[in-house]
Amino acid sequence: MSYRRRYIRENGRSAYRTNSDRRKDLEPVFSRTTNERIGTVSRLWSSIYCVWVYEGQITYEGRVYTFQSTKKDPHEAITWMKDKHEALRNPQFARTIGEYIADSSFTHEDLADLADLSKPTISKWISGEMHPNISSLVRVCKILFGDLWWDKYLELSKMVELER
């Protein structure tokens, strides 16, 4: 039996609906570098998971970004908020992938051919206009780093995730 059904059986539907509407703002979160307020961490009842979750929400240039954590403390949500804000303010992926390609023995054309991508796609990554999808990033990491590709892939994919 699912947790949701068990909760409803033990506490009733009205308790389930009441908990589903609860939200408590806990604390404002401030940027690591500029010390400006970037958002708020809230604790809310998740009707999907039937547990309390911590939700971190930031607004950057008019867009709202949200992260939910089912951990027992808000630390994970706060860390994500600060990392996300820093990544949006100061993107690193374009510079990093550009340096990795420049340090390799491959030209943009060679890398594009080997990874089954177009040269403009690689150029857009380096200029910061676009981010790669997972499969493209895996192919490029395997080409650039050989057997050591996994660690670089994790590093670059985290940058992409935070900058999107």
**Does 82 lie in the same domain as 104?**
no
Please state the pTM of the whole predicted model.
0.78
**Does 10 lie in the same domain as 82?**
yes
**pLDDT tens track of the chain, all 164 residues?**
676 778 778 888 777 766 655 778 888 999 988 889 999 999 988 878 788 899 999 999 999 999 999 988 899 999 999 999 999 999 999 999 999 999 999 999 999 999 999 999 999 999 999 999 999 999 999 999 999 999 999 999 999 999 98
Q: Identify the CA nearest to 118 among candidates 128, 127, 126, 108.
A: 108
> Domain containing 59: what range?
3-89
Instruction: Let me know the angle formed at the C-alpha of 41 by 38 and 45, rounded to the nearest 5 degrees.
Output: 150
**Does 73 lie in the same domain as 59?**
yes
SS in 3 state form for 69-133? ECCCCCHHHHHHHHHHHHHHHCCCHHHHHHHHHHHCCCCHHHHHHHCCCCHHHHHHHHHCCCCCC
**Does 125 lie in the same domain as 99?**
yes
**Does 42 lie in the same domain as 118?**
no
**Number of compact structural domains in the chain:** 2
